[in-house]
């Protein structure tokens, strides 16, 4: 089963995939580049975002030393990740 991140990444154009790759590598290396502009997504701060370019963002979570890539979204769609996901019973 393909996850959200993989599906959205596959839908990106080649140049946007290259920019996403560069941003993901910077995240993995913990690069503090100001262009990456890593910040929590408010109000819950459950997810964080990293800037790929002026229009695209990587949504991710950090647990301990592990980074979990969740999605690639347009800047205007980042609000989908403002709230913590509900627990399933």
pLDDT at residue 18 greater than cutoff 90: yes
Q: What is the pTM for the complete model shown?
A: 0.87
Number of structural domains (the chain) is 1
Asked, for residue 50, whether it belongs to a domain, the answer is yes
Structural domain boundaries enclosing 25: 4-81
| Integer angstrom CA distances of residue 69 from 9, 32, 60, 66, 83 | 11, 18, 4, 10, 16
- Quick: pLDDT tens for 31-55: 877 889 999 999 889 999 999 999 9
The two tokens of residue 25 are 């590598």
pLDDT at position 49: 95
Going by the DSSP 8-state scheme, the letter that residue 55 receives in this structure is S
Instruction: State the average pLDDT for the chain.
Output: 90
Asked, for residue 27, whether it belongs to a domain, the answer is yes
């Amino acid at each position: 089963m393909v996850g959200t991140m993989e599906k959205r990444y596959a839908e990106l154009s080649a140049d946007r995939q290259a920019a996403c790759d560069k941003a993901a590598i910077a995240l993995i290396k913990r690069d503090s580049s100001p262009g990456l502009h890593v910040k929590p997504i408010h109000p819950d701060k459950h997810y964080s975002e990293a800037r790929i370019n002026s229009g695209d963002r990587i949504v991710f979570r950090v647990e301990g030393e592990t980074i979990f890539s969740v999605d690639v979204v347009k800047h205007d769609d980042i609000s989908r990740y403002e709230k913590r996901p509900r627990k399933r019973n």
